[in-house]
Amino acid sequence: MKIAIIGTRGIPNNYGGFEQLAEYLSLGLKEKGHDVYVYNSDKHAYKHYLWNGINIIHCFDPEKTIGTAGQFIYDFNCIVNSRKHNFDVILNLGYTSSSIWMRLFSKRARVITNMDGMEWKRSKYSKKVQRFLMYAEKLAVKHSQLLVADSLAIKKYLDDKYRVNSHFIAYGAPVFTDANAAVLEKYKVTPYTYNLLIARMEPENNIEMILDGVHGTKNSATILVIGNHTNAFGTYLFQKYQSDERIVFTGPLYDVPVINNLRYYSNLYFHGHSVGGTNPSLLEAMGCHCHIAAHNNEFNKSVLQNNALYFSSASEVSHLIENENRSTPGGKINPDNNQTKIKTDYTWANIVNAYEKIMI
């Protein structure tokens, strides 16, 4: 089959979850003998037209110049370009800035859309934008032949609301086995004495709740906050907590071995995401044998079940920090169970097979 993957900033991944999915999925489908194309922003650092056997199509993306409107222009350019190729399948990752153009997809291609999370619930958006996103969601359902949900909770929502039978396919993650404590020296921490938070600086990721919990405890443990804090909300958080020496904003990190070692040796790994489906960074933390403290919501619980600690307020975060020590035997949760789940349920081989099955 001739397959296009559209809707991401491109590969190799240097941004986020959909880019990671595009990278692993394109490689997996190529290994199965398919002809795979991935659409890249022309602002992506990778400028060649072939990456590990994957065809790269570069399209004009003015987001950095004109802001959010540029996302709509980039998606339009990708969709129009896709009409020039005889794709059998187009995998559309997300819908927020593409669904208004999806009627332009070639009628020859089978359009499959990964619906991501409930984008209209994100608190960073105004009521007006949230209404538009609800409309965009409807358009994506209308113009797709198949829908993919990356969590069972999202599948239930889509099936109930739109009377469809969406396909549940999660993300994949590797099991981390190459531990090296020397990596920690740069960050001035030692194994199991610090806590960790990795997230985009967005309100729905409950970063402020977590850091309020840190600020409200007398525990001296450092928490490393990994993520780009140069946006408006990130700047607000940095300024709010800059006087607390325990809260260390590292900025974004893209070196996977470094990030995985920071995960592996953390005391508590805080996961505050509350909107969306199966979060890739959560699976990666599971694969790194993390002691996970997750925001108490249906998305996180559907993945972690009883193999995590949960919080719903800053005071509960404080309680966890003061009472949960990973190095103490007989803890409430066993990270081995999460790592086993990655080995059995969330392997990239399983994910690639699941996508290929619905494409054929």
Would the CA dihedral through 325, 328, 331, 334 be positive or negative?
Answer: positive
pLDDT at 123: 67
pLDDT at 330: 59
Q: Which of 318, 320, 265 is nearest to 288 (CA)?
A: 265
Strands 292-295 and 309-311, how do they pair?
A: parallel
pTM (2 decimals)? 0.86
Q: Which residue has 């105004």 as its token pair?
A: 126
Residues 6+ away with beta carbon under 8 Å from 25: 5, 91, 351, 352, 355
Low-confidence ranges of the chain (pLDDT < 50): none
CA angle (330, 198, 70) in 5-degree steps = 155
CB 87 within 8 A of CB 127: no
Sort residue 211 into left (φ over 0), alpha (ψ -120 to 50) or beta.
Answer: alpha
For 105-160, the pLDDT digits (tens) are 999 999 999 998 777 667 667 888 889 999 999 999 999 999 999 988 899 999 99
Cross-strand pairs, 48: none
Q: Where are the beta strands (DSSP E) in the chain?
A: 2-6, 35-41, 50-51, 54-59, 89-93, 110-114, 146-149, 167-168, 195-198, 223-226, 247-251, 269-271, 292-295, 309-311
pLDDT at 16: 80
- Fold of the CATH domain 181-344: Rossmann fold (3.40.50)
pLDDT at 118: 73
pLDDT at 268: 97
For the beta sheet containing 110-114, the strands, ordered from the edge strand earlier in sequence to the opposite edge, are: 50-51, 54-59, 35-41, 2-6, 89-93, 110-114, 146-149, 167-168
Cross-strand pairs, 197: 225, 270
The residue extents of the domains of the chain are: 2-170+347-359, 181-344
Q: Which of 235, 322, 276 is nearest to 17 (CA)?
A: 276
Cross-strand pairs, 37: 4, 55
Would the CA dihedral through 37, 43, 49, 53 be positive or negative?
Answer: negative
Query: How many residues are given for the chain?
Result: 360
pLDDT at 329: 58
- Architecture label for domain 2-170+347-359: 3-Layer(aba) Sandwich (3.40)
pLDDT at 331: 65
Please determine whether the domains at 2-170+347-359 and 181-344 fall in the same fold group of CATH: yes
